[in-house]
């Protein structure tokens, strides 16, 4: 019997190739999204399962409370914590620090490349199982280990032990080993590990290395087998209590320390600040699984609609089967067999689509590059597909197997599957509502990123040429550029304003503990005029004297309004003349206060900023160019670069282009567009099914109307209006839902666009065009039919 079911199912699928292809594509689209979600979720739960003693390894995280921003949870902890735990508590087998290293560009083998670095304690290589391919760990001062991929990038092979890489801030580093490329199922992501012993004998009174700062590095602890997390929790509570007694912050910050098991880092139950890039939360996984489930549900709706659309063609088959003695469950078995076969065909297509997606540069799916289609995974996917096939075919099988033979043979074309079609019309509205909400969210995201790349930052960004000079003489480059016609002003800085992601602690008093974080940028006296910044009080940085021109730093600084509020310096006028301490030996006097402007990432609020004159830190030269002179100045600048640095590639770039590229999330947007395109195509296929069914049910009516003189346009309008109404209803339902979803998503950004009628109008316009074409083409074909064919007696 099963063999008979399969043969008949294959014949029916082959006979109706178009409907079969549409069904297979719809189910495959839903399955591939589910497969991606399931594979990703499975990978997230497998994170860091290759480390020894992972059940005894913990990361220390920090709960922070303050008067201004309330409570926040940091994945980091004070750098003084690990040495104290290892020194004072016998139940701690190992405690290591992992610190992100700024200034990621490194030089080696005549190449200058960006490298993601961590500085780690020697115990890191004992605690974590990142196997060495060659050499030995980086445990001595000024040593480094590279991943295999990084070694090949610099030297073309992994035989690099003994070679030297030069870090911009840390200087030369000797390569002692090469790590195998990192497994994808780890929350760490780095290109190189530098020995933390490069910072020899750090001052424990320095806030950076002491107990005052909790966001400079990560602490991992390995407990001995007889200890438990409760032992460590009690110790951490005591340590944080002592640290808070000495902590005096301008915003009243206090913190407490607690443990997070290595097995709970991914997925995490809470979202942490300063978490590593590969950390995922349960909230992320629920959202991802929900997207996959919704897409698969749409595909199931589509299958039901298309199967019922062919019900008229299957009615006589059902009647004959019942007349010759088939029971209802046997007829249901036939339709269920067809559904399962379709699902298995969709599984094959979904596999091909997943293989294509694996080649796409999508960061969130990089784990799929090494995804192994092993027996267990195939068993899981086949089982999942069979369940989907059975569930999708259940409703059509029950409906079609319920046909009465007498009714079928008496009135073949007058058969009604579902009276009023209310259920199936509801499915159409639901499908298009979901698709519209997804489109509104996508368009909102696109508009948000466009806003990021074109926003008014509060400083000049047009006709500004930025040149990275690194360790070259800024003054020599500035002198040459100032001679060019079309150059308005030239300034030198340590960083570009759009890239200020790092900050350091500044204190109001030399020995005080009332420190706060602020971004620190080295600039010259031309910076304000070049960047069109507004000075609210005081004066600009003084013009450098002879000592400053020779590279000596000055003792003056400019602050933004946010820094004045953070350090509680009163109003801008009162802040002028006050002093701040950059460290124990560097005091700067405030000469002026700037109107706050946006720097760093626009996804974050404005933070405190200090501008100081430190010529040795200059790494960029920015050139303000007059209108119409852009190409001339660019060509002349390249000529000057060639003369001054003949062996270095030109590093100039227009600031506008850089800001646009900074917020270029094309890969993520392409993925979202692909998913939404799938959802919309599935909805259109479902609409095609119900339109096909309806036109078949009204074929005699169409013939009579044509005989009575109705035109094709009138018939198309008559058949289409009820479906156009479904699209309009979907639009009305989706607008408030899309507005709420888009607004909730955009609320994470401090500077954002709004979900207005222009977004809704664009999405509804796309819906009406695509849906209208689907309806119009099918109804037009029905209206063109010959009346004699539809009115002929059967």
| pLDDT tens-place string over residues 10-60 | 776 677 676 777 778 777 877 787 777 777 777 778 788 888 888 899 999
| Main-chain phi, psi angles of 612, to 5 degrees | -130, 160
Higher pLDDT, 546 or 621: 621
Range with top average pLDDT, 19-23, 74-78, 457-461, 466-470: 74-78
Label the pairing between strands 57-66 and 117-120: unpaired
| Phi-psi category of residue 483: left, alpha or beta, with phi > 0 → left and psi -120 to 50 → alpha | alpha
Lowest mean pLDDT among 23-27, 57-61, 264-268, 730-734: 23-27
Higher pLDDT, 244 or 361: 244
Q: What are the pLDDT digits (tens) for 505-561?
A: 787 776 666 677 788 888 888 888 888 888 888 888 887 654 444 445 678 889 988
Q: What are the pLDDT digits (tens) for 186-217?
A: 888 888 999 998 887 777 667 778 787 788 88
- 289, exposed or middle or buried, with CB in 10 Å at 0-12, 13-18, 19+? middle
**Would the pLDDT of 794 be above 70?**
no
E strands in 499-637: 504-507, 515-522, 535-538, 556-560, 579-581, 587-594, 609-612, 620-625
Higher pLDDT, 70 or 244: 244
pLDDT average, residue stretch 450-462: 80
558, two tokens: 């400019």
Lowest mean pLDDT among 265-279, 438-452, 662-676, 718-732: 662-676
* Per-residue pLDDT, 143: 94
Lowest mean pLDDT among 27-36, 74-83, 489-498: 27-36
**Would the pLDDT of 251 be above 60?**
no
**Would the pLDDT of 384 be above 90?**
no
- 788 contact partners, CB below 8 Å, separation of at least 6: 703
pTM over 0.75: no
- Based on C-alpha coordinates, what's the Rg of the chain? 34
Range with top average pLDDT, 286-295, 331-340, 589-598, 703-712: 589-598
Higher pLDDT, 121 or 770: 121
Element (H or E) spanning 489, and its range?
Answer: strand 487-493
N-to-C CA span, the chain? 33
What DSSP string runs through 128-154? S---EEEE----STTEEEEEHHHHHHH
**Would the pLDDT of 319 be above 80?**
no
**Would the pLDDT of 97 be above 90?**
yes
* Per-residue pLDDT, 308: 63
* Per-residue pLDDT, 420: 43
Lowest mean pLDDT among 385-399, 574-588, 624-638: 385-399
**Would the pLDDT of 790 be above 80?**
no
**Would the pLDDT of 417 be above 50?**
no
Of 360, 51, 58, 52, nearest in space to 182 by CA: 51
Band the pLDDT of 779: cuts 50, 70, 90: confident
d(CA 22, CA 683): 11
Band the pLDDT of 98: cuts 50, 70, 90: very high
**Would the pLDDT of 368 be above 60?**
no
**Would the pLDDT of 421 be above 50?**
no
Which of helix, strand or coil describes residue 164?
strand
pLDDT, averaged across the chain: 78
675, two tokens: 């998913």
Q: Percentage of residues in the chain with pLDDT exceeding 70?
A: 78
Which of helix, strand or coil describes residue 251?
coil
pLDDT average, residue stretch 657-673: 69
d(CA 59, CA 588): 38
* Per-residue pLDDT, 408: 53
Q: Percentage of residues in the chain with pLDDT exceeding 90?
A: 7
d(CA 4, CA 334): 9
Within 220-310, residue ranges assigned H as helices are 229-245, 282-309
* Per-residue pLDDT, 42: 74
* Per-residue pLDDT, 58: 93
């Amino acid at each position: 019997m099963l063999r008979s079911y399969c043969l008949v199912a294959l014949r029916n699928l082959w006979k109706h190739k178009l409907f079969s292809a549409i069904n297979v594509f719809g189910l495959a689209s839903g399955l591939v999204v589910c497969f991606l979600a399931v594979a990703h979720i499975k990978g997230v739960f497998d994170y860091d399962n290759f480390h020894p003693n992972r059940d005894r390894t913990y990361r220390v995280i920090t709960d922070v409370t303050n008067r201004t921003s309330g409570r926040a949870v940091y994945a980091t902890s004070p750098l003084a914590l690990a040495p104290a735990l290892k020194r004072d508590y016998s139940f701690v087998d190992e405690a290591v620090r992992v610190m992100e290293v700024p200034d990621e560009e490194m030089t080696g083998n005549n190449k200058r490349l960006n490298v993601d670095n961590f500085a780690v304690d020697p115990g890191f290589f004992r605690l974590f199982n990142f196997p060495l391919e060659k050499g030995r760990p980086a445990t001595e001062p000024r040593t480094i280990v590279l991943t295999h991929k990084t070694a090949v990038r610099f030297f073309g092979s992994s035989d690099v032990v003994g070679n030297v890489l030069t870090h911009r801030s840390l200087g030369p580093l000797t390569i002692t080993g090469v790590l195998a490329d990192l497994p994808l199922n780890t929350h760490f992501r780095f290109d190189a590990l530098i020995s933390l012993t490069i910072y020899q004998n750090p001052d424990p009174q320095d806030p950076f290395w002491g107990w005052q700062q909790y966001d400079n590095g990560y602490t991992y602890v390995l407990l001995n087998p007889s200890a438990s997390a409760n032992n460590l929790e009690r110790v951490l509570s005591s340590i944080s209590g002592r640290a808070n007694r000495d902590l005096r912050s301008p915003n009243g910050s206090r913190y407490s320390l607690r443990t997070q098991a290595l097995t709970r880092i991914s997925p995490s139950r809470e979202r942490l600040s300063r978490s590593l890039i590969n950390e995922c939360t349960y909230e992320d996984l629920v959202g991802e699984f929900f997207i996959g489930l919704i897409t698969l549900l749409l595909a199931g709706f589509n299958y039901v609609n298309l199967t019922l659309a062919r019900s008229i063609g299957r009615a006589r088959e059902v009647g004959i089967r019942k007349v010759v003695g088939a029971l209802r469950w046997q007829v249901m078995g036939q339709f269920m067999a067809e559904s399962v076969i379709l699902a298995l065909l969709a599984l094959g297509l979904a596999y091909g689509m997943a293989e294509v997606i694996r080649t796409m540069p999508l960061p969130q799916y990089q784990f799929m590059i090494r995804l192994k289609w092993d027996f267990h995974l195939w068993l899981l996917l086949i089982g999942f597909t069979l369940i989907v096939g059975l569930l999708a075919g259940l409703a059509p099988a029950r409906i079609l197997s319920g046909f009465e033979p007498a009714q079928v043979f008496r009135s073949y074309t007058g058969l009604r599957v579902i009276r009023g079609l209310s259920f199936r019309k509801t499915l159409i509205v639901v499908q298009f509502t979901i698709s519209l909400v997804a489109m509104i969210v996508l368009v909102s995201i696109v508009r948000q990123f466009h806003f990021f790349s074109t926003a008014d930052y509060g400083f000049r960004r047009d006709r500004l040429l930025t040149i990275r000079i690194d360790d070259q003489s800024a003054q020599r480059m500035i002198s040459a550029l100032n001679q060019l016609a079309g150059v308005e002003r030239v300034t030198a800085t340590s960083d570009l304003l759009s890239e200020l992601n790092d900050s350091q602690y500044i204190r109001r008093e030399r020995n005080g503990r009332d420190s706060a974080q602020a971004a620190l940028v080295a600039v010259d006296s031309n910076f304000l005029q070049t960047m069109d910044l507004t000075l609210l009080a005081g004066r600009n940085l003084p013009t450098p004297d002879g000592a400053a021109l020779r590279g000596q730093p000055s003792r003056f600084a400019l602050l933004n309004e946010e820094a004045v509020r953070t350090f509680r310096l009163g109003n801008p006028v009162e802040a002028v003349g006050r002093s701040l301490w950059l460290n124990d030996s560097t005091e700067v006097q405030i000469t002026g206060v700037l109107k706050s402007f946006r720097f760093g990432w626009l996804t974050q609020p404005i933070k405190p900023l200090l501008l100081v004159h430190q010529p040795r830190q200059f790494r960029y030269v920015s050139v303000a160019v007059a209108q119409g002179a852009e190409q001339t100045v660019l060509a002349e600048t390249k000529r000057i670069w060639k003369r001054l640095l003949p062996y270095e590639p030109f590093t100039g770039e227009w600031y506008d282009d850089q800001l646009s590229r900074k917020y270029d999330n094309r890969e993520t947007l392409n993925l979202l567009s692909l998913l939404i395109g799938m959802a919309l195509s599935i909805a259109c296929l479902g609409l095609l099914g119900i339109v096909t069914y309806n036109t078949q049910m009204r074929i005699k009516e169409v013939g009579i109307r044509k005989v009575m003189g109705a035109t094709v346009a009138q018939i198309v309008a008559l058949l289409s209006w009820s479906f156009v109404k479904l699209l309009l209803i979907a639009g009305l339902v989706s607008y408030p839902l899309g507005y709420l979803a888009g607004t909730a998503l955009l609320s994470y950004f401090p500077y954002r666009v709004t979900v207005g009628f222009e977004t809704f109008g664009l999405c509804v316009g796309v819906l009406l065009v695509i849906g209208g074409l689907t309806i119009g083409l099918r109804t037009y074909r029905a209206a063109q039919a010959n009346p004699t064919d539809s009115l002929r007696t059967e």
